[in-house]
Structures are given as structure tokens and as C-alpha cells.
Structure 1
Amino acid sequence: MPVELAAIVGLTGLLTLTLLSLVVSRLQLRRARGRVAELESELVGSTGSRSRRVTGMAVKAVVETATRVREGGISGLLVSSIEDITRWVTEDRATILRNAAPDGTVTIFFSDIEDSTLHNERLGDDEWVRLLGDHDRIVREQIRRHRGHVVKTQGDGFMVVFRGPVDGVRAAIDIQRRLDSLTASELRHTQVKDRIGLHVGAVVARGGDYFGRNVAMAARVAGHAAGGQVVVSDDLRRCLGEVADSDLEFDLEPGPRTDLKGLSGVHQLWWVRCA
């Protein structure tokens, strides 16, 4: 076979393989988009904005598939099956649905012990660890009572989510009351005071953890609480405004209007006072 003819045949074969690969990639992406549509139709009519958020996560899965094409070529897409995408979406959807309100939002709670380093220094490591165990049991007991879900703990701090803001605020109040009522002998002769902040909003769930702007917002709100205080965001205050006053055992007092690190704008905070 002449060299020129062999070159033409080789080029034709290469073009054919490239076209086949492109067809396969289109089919994979089409199937992913089809799965997005299925998830959307599955949730429409029952959870409103929650449906849009879950669909958004499915879209993210499609985007990740496209990213694999860019980074690993067609072979990177072929090793990513539609079953992987479906599993990713389903796992995170289940996490959000389990802990979210009907509108798809969660109430995010952060707490830690005021002056924990000073307590540790005074008590010593061994006694401090035992005090943390006592403290954690008290906090977890109230979280369970109010149907909260502990996302994670770090040292003396808790991150918790609740389905509704009323449950979250009630848990915070009961934690503060319980800690305040302890005698000196019940908690290693140390007066422990928690700082607690809450915010409500949509989040992204991944691997059992929660992420997003609203998580950062809740952490910043908690940073403005002093020991023994419960502080909430203006968004959470508005949600509580939709609940009948007779169903609440607490009042809200206007707190400072302040900047929150890393978040744009000025934010109104509120102090929780027991009625």
C-alpha cells in the first residue's frame, strides 16, 4: 500500500474513533441531564424550594462530569458512571431531607464554652477532659430532647442542625438553664457558660457535613454571644415571627447592628430572653 494511502487510512481511523468518543460523551451527559429531570419531577409539588435545591445538587453532579472530560479527556468521562452521579445526589438529598424544614432550610446552631482555655489552664488537662465529658452530656441531652442533629464537635464546640428555629432556640435556652443550675460540685467546681448563636437558611450537605454561606453566618453570629447568652440572626427572627406568640416561651430583644467577618453588609442581631 502506498505511503500516502496508508496515511489517509490511518487518519480516517483516528477521526472515526474521535467521533465515536464524542458520541459516547454526549450520551453520558444526556443521561445525567435526564437524571436531573427525574429528580426535579420527583420533588415538585411537595417541598417547593427544597426541590430546587436538590435539583441544583444534581446539576452540580453534571458539571462535575463535564469537569472530568476537561481534566481527563474522554477516558475520564467513561470511568465515571451514571450510577456514581446518582449515588452522590441521593446521599446528599437524604441528609438534607432528614434534617430540613418543609421549605428546605435548616436551623444552624453553634456553641462553645466561654474562657475554655483559662478553665483548661486552671484545671489541668485530665480534669478538663472530664469536665468536657460532663458538659457534652448535658448539651447532647437537650439536643436530643429538641430533635436536633449533631453535625460535628471540636474541643468544647458543637455544630448542630434543627428542622425548625423554635426547636433550635428552645434547645439553646434549656442548655443555658441546665448549665446555670448546676452546683459547684456537679461540674468540677467550675462555672461553665456557653456562647450560642443560631441562624436559618439553605445549606449544602456533603459527606455528613454542612457547608455554605449560611453555615458561616451562624458561626459569626455565635461569635457575638457572651457566656450564658443566646444570639440569633435577623433571618431567624423573621422565621420566628411566623409562629404564634403563645407557642413561644421566650422574647427577642434587638442587639447590635454589626459587620460579620467575611460577609457583606451590616447585620441586625437579636438577644433571646426567656419570657
Structure 2
Amino acid sequence: MTLWIIAAGVELAVIVALGVLLIVSRKKLKNTRAALERARADTPRRRRGLVPLAVRTAFNATDSLIQKGFGATVRNSVEDLAGWAQVERPDLARITADGDVVVVFSDIEGSTARNQELGDRGWLKLLEKHNRMITKQVVDHGGHVIKNQGDGFMIAFSDPTEAVRSGIAVQEALRENPEKWSGIRVRMGVHVGSSVRRGDDLFGLNVAMAARVASQADGGEILVSEPVRQALRGAHDIDLGTPREVELKGMRGSFALYPVDCAPRTVNENT
């Protein structure tokens, strides 16, 4: 009986100690989050109010740890971004004059496994570099980063051709020097439709459509919807592959999705 009481006491002490450790750890994480929020507020704004990528990436990482618990990897999916857009309803109409907006979603294939492979510090360094490159290509092609969470991006363009060219530039950069990027592969989906001012239902449908297109892409691939394919007519520097007929979650019927040829073009010496 005495041994049982002692064992129970030891077990209770261990539980109390673990509880105290958990509370202290969570407090430290929240303090870190608060510090990053202050840094985010105090940092001079750059280019339409974007905070530095290093601060934003660290903030997203801390937020993910607090929300998902200890041992959680830094991961944000296309579905997370699409869900955010459905709630926040960003004003996409300001980006375009003709009533149509191009929505692009992208993320890193197998990001959770890569996070575990590189460790949190190595993964955050890679994310910062990846996010900086994506943002540069978007801005260079006249696009706007609507939301970035971890390795995921929601992007808007007024021109479907420039949206696809931006994606091609990203894939080329990753392919040309895979060691620099730790071999990551980015998947992207592109769709064009009516902007938010034409009605919430259309907004929700087009954002969801772009997210579903991206979810069908493999790493290193850009998929575009039928409306984007039609808009690309006359863009002689963009080639599309054989369409794939797919069913998209939450949408009736089947849809044709077209892979963009991201391979470097060969020059014919006889021409």
C-alpha cells in the first residue's frame, strides 16, 4: 500500500511538472508572437505596406506553432488560403479595370516532409528565400500578392498572360539551380473570372476554382483552366500540353485543365 501511494505521488508530481512546463513554453511562444507583431507594426512600410519577408515568415511560423501546438511543422495549404479568402473577401476588383481578375494559388509540394528533413531553422531560411523569389516574380509581372501563409501564396493579376509568365519564371528559377532551393517543387493553379464587385457568389466560385486547379497540379507544374487557355490565345511564347479531364471537389461536372510547358525552348539553328 505504501509503495502504491509513493508511486501515485511521483506520477502526480510528474504531471504537475509537465503542466508547468507546457504553460511556460506556451507563454514564451505568445511573448515571441507579441514581439513579432510589434516589429511588424513598427517596421517602415515597403511597397504597398508589405512587411519584410523575414519578419512575416517568422511571424507565420510562431503563429502556426501557437495554433497547432508543440511539434507542429510550419505548413499552409492552398485550401487554408482559399478558406481565408472566403472569410475576408479581399477586394480583388481594384486590381483590374475590365471586371475580370486572374487568381493564382501556389505552394510547395511535400512541404511538411521537407520541413522535417531540414529542421525548423533550415526550413524557415528556405521559406524566406522562396517567398522573396515568388514575390519578386509576381511584382515584375504586374501582379499582387493577396496573401502569403508559410509556403502558400494567393496572388492576383489583371492579365492572364502575365500571370502564366510569372509562374513560368518561378519554375525556371527552381529548375535551373535545384541545389540552391533544396530541391523543392512548387505547384501552381491559374483561373480567371469575375471580380468581387460582380457579386459574392461569383467571387467565391472563382477563388474556389483557382484553389481546386492548384490542388490538381503536381510539383513543378502549372495548371490553367479553360478560361485562361482561351485568354492565352496569341501568346506565342506560352505552350500548353494535352488537357486533363478532372472532377473538382465541390463542383459539378468535369473540367479540362491544361499543363503549361515550362521546359526551356530549343533554338532551331536552321531558322
Task: Return the TM-score normalized by structure 2.
Answer: 0.59
Q: Which residue of 2 aligns with 1:107?
A: 102
Q: Which residue of 2 aligns with 1:180?
A: 175
Secondary structure in 1 matching 2:153: strand
Q: Which residue of 235, 244, 253 maps to 1:265?
A: 253
C-alpha separation in 2, matches of 1:165 and 1:183: 27
Q: Which sections of structure 2, spanning at least 5 residues, go unmatched?
A: 1-88, 266-271
Calculate the aligned-residue CA RMSD, in Å. Answer: 2.0
Aligned AA for 2:103? Answer: I
Deviations 1:137-172 (A, max 9, x none): 111110011011001012200000000100100000
C-alpha separation in 1, matches of 2:170 and 2:255: 26
Secondary structure in 2 matching 1:261: coil
Secondary structure in 2 matching 1:231: strand
Asked if residue 217 in structure 1 is aligned to residue 213 in structure 2, the reply is: no
Q: Which residue of 212, 225, 228 maps to 2:220?
A: 228
C-alpha separation in 1, matches of 2:139 and 2:241: 27
Greater Rg by CA: 1
C-alpha separation in 2, matches of 1:233 and 1:183: 28
C-alpha separation in 1, matches of 2:163 and 2:250: 24
Shift in CA distance, 103/254, structure 1 to aligned 2, threshold 3 Å: farther
C-alpha separation in 2, matches of 1:201 and 1:117: 31
Matches for 1:27-176 after TM superposition, within 5 Å: 95-100=91-96, 102-176=97-171
C-alpha separation in 2, matches of 1:193 and 1:119: 11
Kindly indicate whether the alpha-carbon contact (under 8 Å) linking 2:106 and 2:154 is maintained by their aligned counterparts in 1.
yes
Q: Which sections of structure 1, spanning at least 5 residues, go unmatched?
A: 1-91
Q: Which has the higher strand share?
A: 1
Secondary structure in 2 matching 1:263: coil
Kindly indicate whether the alpha-carbon contact (under 8 Å) linking 1:203 and 1:215 is maintained by their aligned counterparts in 2.
no
Q: Which has the higher helix share?
A: 1
Deviations 1:226-252 (A, max 9, x none): 1111100011111222xx2xx431111
Secondary structure in 2 matching 1:264: coil
Deviations 1:103-133 (A, max 9, x none): 3100100000011011001111111111100
C-alpha separation in 1, matches of 2:240 and 2:94: 28
Q: Which residue of 239, 252, 259 maps to 2:231?
A: 239
Q: Sequence identity of aligned pairs in percent?
A: 42
